[in-house]
């Protein structure tokens, strides 16, 4: 009997101990943050099979099912996708330092002269900080923006002149092509002192199309980068394409740099005051005492950074705005009325008119809301952190989905409608695009936010403002569909998929445009 009692007692103690242990484990688990939710992953490839060609659209659909933060694994790379303003703030502001670097890839490394040479893709370290300071104080600072204002005005006049001639002769305009020429001319004169549309030879021809190819290839997922056993193969031919882009760009740039070096030598040294970015960079290199290592490959990578970041983005935004205005003639008319009343017809819209043209500014914001040229802000975490109580580990790729937030009915009434008026209503009147309103982040936010934002905004006011002022816009007669096709092309940036071919009908006296 005694024996039975002892063993019963033993069993009871064992059960109590096990239950306590189980409770402790469960409570411990609860306290330790878990990964964000997400769909079921497959072995090895993770969620690669779910990805469509337009990543931001795939992520948008997934977040509608799984919530505003989700965890994905692309091959062996862990990813967190964020699609709400609160979580964007938590990632980009609260954890600004954790997410202050970007992910590199084979294509990025090949095209940008090796890891760490590009400013846009270098990690948050001494080189990035040095160039960031240079951007803020010199390259893209207020003094330089004023200095190059004449360049922007004169390039826009050339552009309008081409449109005016086409309009008068009834020819159609390939707006995609003309806008790319315009924006790359502006950047090219600032950087290299030459108009990119006037550079000649095979190398220059190749370079003109290179920047759009660069934003496209940078946005493609390379299976060789993310599935470890594919590392040695170039399954999608991305490495081969990257090498070809690199070869064309390098030939173009080498010629320009050596010509400038020759000119500087013939003058017996550098210039007294740098006229463009190239002179400034050569001065830094030749001074022999830059704060950080700055070699020829850094110089070429930096020029590529500015060309790619500044050319395609600005022309994409302008093209989307005009496409929306063709599809919404009421909005075009209203914007023309505003410009006619504020600016009149004796002069062209200028950058300084911006504060007096609220409807034009609302059109620009509305374009960014529905068509952010860079649809997702992409960063990588340097250490573990928590977002919304979920664990995000070091080396996680973060995607903040701008495109998705612009379509979120929590922030925007009738989100799929192009309606600039929403930015004139009280509830959205104070929303701007400068990185503090996290539901609208076309230029990103925090320390890695876009350093070219002020330049881009000034250029957009000038270009879109004068295009609205000078012309009525429509599709060519005989085009079956009366609306512009709004399909997007895949890539890091999101331009329209097809070139925009349209007709312009001049509505101001050419004397106003050309001054003669």
Binding residues: 450
* Rg value, the chain, Cα: 27
Residue 305: CB minimum distance to ligand HEM, A: 5
Residue 41: CB minimum distance to ligand HEM, A: 27
DSSP class per residue in 164-211 = HHHHHHT--EEHHHHHHHHHHHHHHHHHHSS-GGG--SHHHHHHHHHH
Residue 114 or residue 449: which is nearer to ligand HEM going by CB? 449
Residue 168: CB minimum distance to ligand HEM, A: 30
Residue 402: CB minimum distance to ligand HEM, A: 7
Residue 214: CB minimum distance to ligand HEM, A: 13
Percentage helix, strand, coil, to 5, in the chain? 55, 10, 35
Residue 472: CB minimum distance to ligand HEM, A: 25
Residue 224 or residue 445: which is nearer to ligand HEM going by CB? 445
Query: Hey, what are 503's tokens?
Result: 């007709």
Residue 409: CB minimum distance to ligand HEM, A: 23
* Strands 77-82, 397-401: pairing kind: parallel
Residue 456: CB minimum distance to ligand HEM, A: 4
d(CA 436, CA 371): 19
Residue 74 or residue 455: which is nearer to ligand HEM going by CB? 455
173-174 sheet: strands from edge to edge: 173-174, 501-506, 471-474
d(CA 405, CA 456): 22
Give residues in contact with ligand HEM (CB under 6 A): 119-120, 187, 305-306, 309-310, 313-314, 317, 373-374, 377, 442-445, 448-452, 455-456
Within 399-452, where are the H helices? Answer: 402-405, 426-429
Residue 134 or residue 513: which is nearer to ligand HEM going by CB? 134
Residue 47 or residue 365: which is nearer to ligand HEM going by CB? 365
Query: Hey, what are 472's tokens?
Result: 């009525």
E strand residue ranges, 320-433: 376-380, 385-387, 390-392, 397-401
d(CA 303, CA 290): 18
Residue 230 or residue 454: which is nearer to ligand HEM going by CB? 454
Residue 111 or residue 503: which is nearer to ligand HEM going by CB? 111
Residue 221: CB minimum distance to ligand HEM, A: 18
Q: Report whether 385 contacts 100 (CB < 8 A).
A: no
Residue 26: CB minimum distance to ligand HEM, A: 39
E strand residue ranges, 431-508: 471-474, 501-506
Q: Report whether 70 contacts 80 (CB < 8 A).
A: yes
Residue 33 or residue 449: which is nearer to ligand HEM going by CB? 449
Residue 46 or residue 116: which is nearer to ligand HEM going by CB? 116
**Which residues are within 8 A (CB) of 74 and not within 5 positions of it... i.e. 6 or more apart?**
46, 47, 48, 51, 221, 226, 397
Q: Report whether 37 contacts 66 (CB < 8 A).
A: yes
Angle between helical axes of 296-327 and 453-470 (0-180°, round to 10): 40
Determine the 3-state secondary structure of 305 from DSSP: helix
Inter-CA distances, 357 with 116, 340, 344, 422, 512, Å: 42, 10, 12, 15, 19
SS (H, E, C) 253-297: HHHHHHHHHHHHHHCCCCCCCCCCHHHHHHHHHHHCCCCCCCCHH
Residue 223 or residue 317: which is nearer to ligand HEM going by CB? 317
Binding-site sequence positions for heme: 450
Residue 204: CB minimum distance to ligand HEM, A: 20
Residue 360 or residue 513: which is nearer to ligand HEM going by CB? 360
């Amino acid at each position: 009997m005694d024996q039975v009692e002892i063993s019963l007692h033993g069993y009871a103690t064992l059960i109590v101990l096990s239950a306590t242990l189980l409770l402790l484990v469960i409570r411990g688990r609860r306290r330790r943050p878990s990964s964000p939710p997400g769909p079921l992953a497959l072995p090895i490839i993770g969620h690669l099979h779910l990805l469509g060609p337009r990543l931001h659209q795939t992520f948008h659909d997934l977040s509608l099912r799984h919530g505003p933060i989700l965890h994905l694994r692309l091959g062996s790379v862990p990813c967190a996708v964020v699609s709400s303003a609160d979580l964007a703030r938590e990632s980009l502001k609260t954890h600004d330092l954790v997410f202050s670097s970007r992910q590199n890839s084979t294509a990025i490394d090949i095209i940008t002269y090796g890891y760490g040479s590009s400013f846009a893709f270098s990690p948050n370290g001494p080189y990035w900080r040095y160039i960031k300071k240079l951007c803020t104080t010199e390259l893209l600072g207020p003094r330089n923006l004023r200095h190059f204002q004449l360049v922007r005005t004169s390039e826009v006049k050339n552009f309008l002149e081409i449109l005016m001639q086409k309009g008068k002769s009834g020819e159609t305009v390939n707006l995609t092509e003309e806008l790319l020429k315009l924006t790359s001319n502006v950047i090219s004169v600032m950087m290299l002192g030459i108009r990119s549309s006037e550079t000649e030879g095979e190398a220059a021809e190749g370079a003109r199309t290179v920047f759009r190819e660069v934003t496209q290839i940078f946005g493609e997922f390379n299976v060789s980068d993310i599935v470890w056993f594919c590392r040695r193969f170039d399954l999608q031919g991305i490495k081969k394409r990257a090498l070809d882009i690199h070869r064309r760009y390098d030939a173009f740039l080498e010629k320009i740099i050596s010509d400038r070096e020759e000119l500087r030598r013939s003058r017996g040294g550098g210039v007294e005051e740098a006229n463009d970015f190239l002179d400034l960079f050569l001065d830094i290199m030749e001074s022999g005492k830059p704060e950080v290592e700055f070699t020829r490959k850094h110089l070429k990578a930096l020029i590529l950074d500015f060309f790619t970041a500044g050319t395609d983005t600005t022309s994409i935004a302008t093209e989307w705005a005009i496409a929306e205005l063709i599809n919404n003639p009421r909005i075009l008319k209203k914007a023309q009325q505003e410009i006619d009343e504020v600016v009149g017809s004796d002069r062209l819209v200028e950058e300084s008119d911006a504060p007096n043209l609220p409807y034009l500014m609302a059109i620009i914001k509305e374009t960014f809301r529905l068509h952010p040229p860079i649809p997702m802000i992409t960063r990588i975490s340097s250490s573990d952190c928590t977002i919304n109580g979920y664990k995000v580990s070091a080396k996680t790729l973060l995607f903040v989905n701008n495109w998705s937030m612009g379509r979120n009915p929590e922030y925007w009434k009738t989100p799929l409608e192009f309606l600039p008026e929403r930015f004139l209503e009280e509830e959205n009147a104070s929303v701007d695009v400068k990185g503090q309103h996290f539901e609208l982040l076309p230029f990103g936010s925090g320390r890695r936010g876009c350093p070219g934002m002020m330049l881009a905004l000034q250029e957009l006011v000038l270009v879109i403002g004068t295009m609205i002022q000078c012309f009525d816009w429509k599709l060519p007669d005989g085009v079956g569909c009366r609306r512009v096709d709004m399909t997007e092309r895949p890539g890091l940036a999101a331009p329209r998929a097809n070139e925009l071919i349209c007709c312009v009908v001049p509505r101001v006296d050419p004397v106003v445009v050309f001054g003669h």
